[in-house]
Amino acid sequence: MTITYEFGRSLYVNITNRCSNACAFCIRKDEPTVNGVDELWLEREPTEEEIFEDILKRKLNKYNELVFCGYGEPSYRLDEICRVSKAVKKIYPIKIRLNTNGHGNLIFKKDMTPQLDGAVDTVSISLNAKNRNEYDALCRPIFDNAFDALIDFGRLAKAHTNVVFTIVNILSEEDQDACRKICVSMGTKLRVRSYID
């Protein structure tokens, strides 16, 4: 079972295959891996202890950052992420990023962002679209108000950590500009990332 895997200069942590989206562009439909090496479909979710131990098996000074991502929505396990992150930071001062769709508060039905304080250095939220209708069509979330909630998650998270919204470069220039305006209005950054075909 693959818990940690390398991609670029980062160490990624794969802790769940559950997801609150069924994105039209998701590579999970066709591929079991993102790095061509590690099978990311989990036979079961690893325990908090297994996650911590697997991270510590690696030479953390090799990596620029530790990224909770994987083949699912990691915020389903936000409690564990924050506890493991704080424990890792006591051993080695690595930067920690959470890649999320921003549905954490919907999943837990409360504001989870205070837990990020001191645990996660950057939250990277997949914005993916410029409005609710386009988001729902593209990402097919299980929640009715997912787009508004991910914006709100970013706004709340800003009080506890660095927040970056992301979109893929397949969006039109006009749509990218609209997404940029959303981020400017919130005082957050926008990163345009490459689409993995």
Q: What is the pLDDT of residue 175?
A: 93
Q: What is the pLDDT of residue 197?
A: 45
pLDDT at 134 over 90: yes
Supply the mean pLDDT for the chain: 91
Q: In the numeric block, which tokens belong to residue 123? A: 């939250």
pLDDT at 13 over 90: yes
pLDDT at 32 over 60: no
User: What percent of the chain has pLDDT above 70?
Assistant: 91
Topology of domain 4-193 in CATH is: TIM Barrel (3.20.20)
Write the DSSP symbol of residue 45: P
Edge-to-edge order in the sheet of strand 122-126 = 4-7, 10-13, 65-68, 95-100, 122-126, 162-168, 189-193
What's the pTM value of the predicted model, to 2 decimals? Answer: 0.91
pLDDT class of 25 with cuts at 50, 70, 90: confident
